[in-house]
Amino acid sequence: MIIVALVLLVLTAGVALVPTGDRVRPWVPTAVASTLLTAAAVLASLAGPAHGVGHAVGVVLSVVVAAVGGTAVVPSVFRVARRQNDSTDDEPVEPLRGGLTIGILERVAVAVSILAGWPEGIAIVLAVKGLARYPELRESHASEQFIIGTFASVLWALAAAGVGFAINS
């Protein structure tokens, strides 16, 4: 079962990288990646702990899935939030500068903190991010993007790290 869980992690990362557009609806990679990650979590929970190479591959893949998977999940969450926005502004909202890179680094740091058994690291990551973004957060759309993006990003990273933790427990 560990091998199947590892294969599902690889597929999760691959699906998250599928470009959306005319042929693929924007929500499809997120839905498929979430389903694959859930299946990997169930299988990893049912299997015994991985040892040796399986252990190392499980840790690496869960961090990769945390980093890559969020690039599909976070924009989907933004789309849902924009549809439910009560704002009367018709002008498009620009993303925060460096958001993609910061999000990837944030998810890697969160996943590594959990897998290293140091959940306090999440507080440090979020504090550093908040301090770095503080000047931009005075604008209402920026603070909303910051909160929604950070929450979605951290939840995805925790889910991916949870699979890695289950593989190794």
Q: Which residue has the higher pLDDT, 91 or 72?
A: 72
Nearest to 10 by CA among 47, 30, 35, 37: 37
The C-alpha atoms of residue 130 and residue 107 are separated, in whole angstroms, by 15
The three-class DSSP label of residue 121 is helix
Looking at residue 21, its pLDDT comes to 80
Burial of 134 (0-12, 13-18, 19+ CB in 10 A): exposed
* Residue 91 pLDDT > 90: no
| Model confidence pLDDT, tens digit, residues 25-41 | 889 999 999 999 999 99
Q: What is the pTM of this model?
A: 0.90
Alpha-helical runs (H) found in the chain: 2-16, 28-46, 53-83, 99-115, 120-133, 140-167
Give the pLDDT band (50/70/90) at residue 65: very high
| Model confidence pLDDT, tens digit, residues 103-158 | 999 999 999 999 999 999 999 999 999 998 888 888 878 888 899 999 999 999 99
* Residue 81 pLDDT > 70: yes
Query: Of all residues in the chain, what percent carry a pLDDT higher than 70?
Result: 93
